[in-house]
Amino acid sequence: MAVEEASSPEIFKPRTDKREYQQIVLRNSLEVLLVSDPDTDKCAAAMSVDVGSFSDPDGLEGLAHFLEHMLFYASEKYPLEDSYSKYITQNGGSTNAFTAWEHTNYYFDVNADAFEEALDRFAQFFIKPLMSPDATMREIKAVDSEHQKNLLSDVWRNSQLQKHLSSPGHPYNKFNTGSWETLEVRPRAKGQDTRQELIKFYHGNYSANLMQLVVYAKESLEVMERLVESKFQDIPNSGRNPIKFPGQPCLPEHLQILVRTVPIKEGHRLSFAWPITPGIRYYQEGPCSYLGHLIGHEAEGSLFYVLKILGWSTSLWAGEMDWTTEFSFFKVSITLTDSGHEHMQDVVGLLFKYIKLLQESGVCEWIFNELAATCETAFHYRDKTPPIDYVVGLASNMQFYPPKDWLVASSLPSKFNPSIIHLILNELTPNNLRIFWESKNFEGQTNSVEPWYGTAYSVEQISAADIEQWIHASPNAHLHLPAENVFIPTDLSIKEAKETVIYPTLVKKSACSRLWYKPDTLFSCPKALVKMDFNCPWANHSPESDVFTEIFTMLLADYLNEYAYYAQVAGLDYSIKHTDSGFGVTIFGYNHKLKILLETVIDKIAKFRVKADRFYVIKEMVIKDYENYKFQQPYQQAMSYCSLILLDQSWPWTEQVEVLPHLEPDDLSKFVPVLLSRTFLECFVAGNVEAKEAESMINHVEEVLFQGTHPVCRPIFPSQHLTNRVIKLSKGRSYLFFANGLNPKDENSALVHYIQVHRDDFVPNVKLELFALMAKQPAFHQLRSVEQLGYITVLMKRNYFGIRGVQFVIQSTAKGPGHLDQRVEAFMEMFYSKLREMTAEEFRGNVNALIDVKLEKHKNLKEESMFYWQEIADGTFKFNRKECEIAALKQLTQKELIDFVDEYIKAGAPRRKVLSTRVYSASHASEFEPDKSIVDQTRSVQIDDIFSFRRSNPLYGSFKGGFGHMKL
């Protein structure tokens, strides 16, 4: 039996958490956390292994990451390649892994009735995996493809540059991902066999005593314990000691530096990094939580507020990052405007003025207590998350925290200790600082290149005296600590629902608005959600109006920020977003003070005025966002082209970029009254709110916006109700769109192969979903693992406003889009043959797996509410969708599915409608014209002009806009 069970400490858990937890240690010293949740539909497991990329042997960079890839292939007990992933996928689950510096985390989830076998297959990763020579070579290419995908990502480039500028003797300095160069070319040149090195690395580092397992299931703890012991007790325990990496990554020569670097994307960023004492050592005192809360604050008097008023910054983040138990960094990241870039020294000076303010103010107990109170409320009322996400976090926590704190980790500062906070604060000095300054303005002004990603940079030494000068020269600003947070909820009581309401009900309807309401009858949490879509006919009727609406929503959020930031800190989130039909307001969080925030947002809309200084800042942001479209991944470009071709009344980013420079504050001042002049509000209130409260909220909104002698809004005319129309492709035709990649430096090409099938209807819906479930993993295995077309290879469902289909998305440096399209067609033929050969038992197993997926209960209020909101926003209103589709699945026969695929999906199907959008990189540019010349004109249509194509093709009917038939 398992050992140490009797001495298992009590694990501190939220008051609202009904799950049971137990720590056990198996005979082989594997540490396990069992989570019993009788209400769960999905079971999950995660294994954290205490070895990561820091342990890569010299000259074999990326070996730990490569091993993570290889363990998915096969095992001695289950030798059929890809059988693990296939089993998981076909039973409604998902699986993945990641390699960190000091640990590697493997995880999966699956339908409950398939969990035992899934767990057995998972355990074989760590007992007797197979690493065949053929699979080894293929997966090296997959790792290299992953690296190629990241080469032009500023996040990856900046991370590696910071590591590059550190001690070569510390593993922090290493390149972690791996590539063809590090895993094949260089080892081969030295006479090394990568596969043998891989096997040696596995046996030398993967030991049961260096692993932490989390298992989440429906069964009781006793049953789970027996299950875990039977599956995992055979993991070898070599008795290896935990691997430690003492020492600091930054030597004196790596501090007091200003690094200028050239990013891929437009924009300026200033990043500060101080090596500090790891916060994990004082996680109950929460020094980094306290300092990050204050330095990253956005209300009046904060550093960000001052930088924003000066027009120098559009965002700021502060907190601890990149930490281990031996070293850590406190980082501040500031996105600069063009003006802020010109005032870099002043920005640095103001940051240190704020740090000096914290030092002079002392550690404030009331601020710590307020932070602790918000964290405590968040912990005790935190939403239940999908089991797969939960186990991943818990397995990581087990590596760093004592068992009693595995659930809470560092999220709950509880011990007020000013000296500990001062310990970290006193490390935030000019002498201990690294500054990274990103801007395309530095092109041609750098003198060094980072070797792995090719990032251009230069390093300049800066002294404490330099920074002291910048402090004195910076503007006199009224920096001060935040005020008391009035949004902290004090009423967390649960309101009794007067009746059991299964679906949203229409409780109010007027010419101005429609209100759907759904009380919380499942989760018993003191939270609510308000969704409010402003349907405005003038919002998106031209590229100019589209851009104006975007700037308007961004300005609204900008005006609200210093006030509403307090609400966000207190657990009341909000967003104001541009939508396809106007703009939307979302508020979610504790219901106690939600109405106050909603009324403030509506008041800002009613009294909106354009502030010229903020207009120009937001305009600059929007211009950069549009200009950065060309730096999107090629597969994202291909998906954008697909959407642009299919969606009526959508505008290309190139036209929006063209109109932006000419827009002025006066133009927006004239546009907003027109935008709001005709409006219809689609509203949804859900959660811990009574029906009369919900109606009161919307009545207030109507009163402010629609009433009075000069109302801001008037009801829209019946003819103005907005619709979402999608191009209806012709049966039996293939459509092709060719484009060159927008970034000539990106060597990845991409394909989106989209198959349009039907308009939303329960029976064809489940046929399409069943096909996607059955084909997803075979497509990934064949196209990615076997043929090695590219790291990004996925088959996914697609829903354009109720028009259903599936699409293959592939990004590749190895092959051009024409070849990728051919391989998709070849896969479809191969899969269709396998579908016809499928046994009745296999078919029914897949049907039951999809039924289990649809039976899965919502985890929390927000998940449930967003499911219903999607029905409202799309105009489908099929709130009983799951039940109806389950009923359709139970009636579905194997012949009906085969006939469906035969008619709509397989290569050459008579009613098949395919749109292929192909993006060619410079490395495949020579294939562009030849591919266009071989298009079969009898069955295929080449799209040269997207907008002529849209104008000349029919549209599907829209679900949205049918307001007349809805009854209370």
Helices of type H across 332-436? 338-342, 344-361, 365-380, 387-400, 418-425
CA distance 72 to 108: 11
CA distance 407 to 399: 12
| Residues 45 and 391 sit within 8 Å (Cβ to Cβ) | yes
| Residues 460 and 257 sit within 8 Å (Cβ to Cβ) | yes
| Residues 459 and 258 sit within 8 Å (Cβ to Cβ) | yes
Q: Which two tokens stand for residue 821?
A: 């399209």
Question: 558: Cβ–Cβ under 8 A, 6 or more apart, which residues?
Answer: 614, 617, 618
Q: Look up residue 678 and give its DSSP letter.
A: B
| Residues 515 and 491 sit within 8 Å (Cβ to Cβ) | no
Three-state secondary-structure class, residue 935: coil
| Residues 870 and 819 sit within 8 Å (Cβ to Cβ) | no
In the numeric block, the tokens 């009324």 are attached to 599
Question: 446: Cβ–Cβ under 8 A, 6 or more apart, which residues?
Answer: 260, 261, 262, 456, 457, 458
Nearest partner of 764 among 657, 661, 889, 649, judged by Cα: 889
Q: Which two tokens stand for residue 492?
A: 């967390």
Q: Which residues of 547-559 are buried (b: 16+ CB within 10 A; e: fewer)?
A: bbbbbbbbbbbbb
Q: How many angstroms separate the most distant Cα atoms in the chain?
A: 86
Residue length of the chain: 968
CA distance 83 to 129: 13
The secondary structure element, H or E, covering residue 916 is strand 913-920
Q: Which two tokens stand for residue 579?
A: 């939508």
Put residue 668 in one of left, alpha, beta given phi > 0 → left and psi -120 to 50 → alpha: alpha
Q: Residue 937 CA to chain centroid, in angstroms? A: 41
CA distance 733 to 949: 14
CA distance 668 to 618: 12
- The CA-atom distances, in angstroms, between 571 and each of 373, 444, 593 are 11, 46, 10
CA distance 420 to 286: 9
3-state SS of 597-627 is HHHHHHHHHHCCCCCHHHHHHHHHHHHHHHH
How buried is 300 (Cβ within 10 angstroms: 0-12 exposed, 13-18 middle, 19+ buried)? middle
Q: Residue 424 CA to chain centroid, in angstroms? A: 31
In a 13 Å sphere around the CA of 347, the CA atoms on its Cβ side amount to: 32
Q: Strand 513-519 to strand 680-687: parallel, antiparallel, or no bridges (unpaired)?
A: parallel
Angle value at C-alpha 119, between 118 and 123, nearest 5 degrees: 120
Q: Residue 216 CA to chain centroid, in angstroms? A: 23
Question: 210: Cβ–Cβ under 8 A, 6 or more apart, which residues?
Answer: 49, 50, 51, 240, 242, 243
Question: Which sequence positions are flagged as catalytic?
Answer: 68, 139
How many other CB atoms are found less than 10 A from the CB of residue 478? 9
Question: 908: Cβ–Cβ under 8 A, 6 or more apart, which residues?
Answer: none
The secondary structure element, H or E, covering residue 574 is strand 572-579
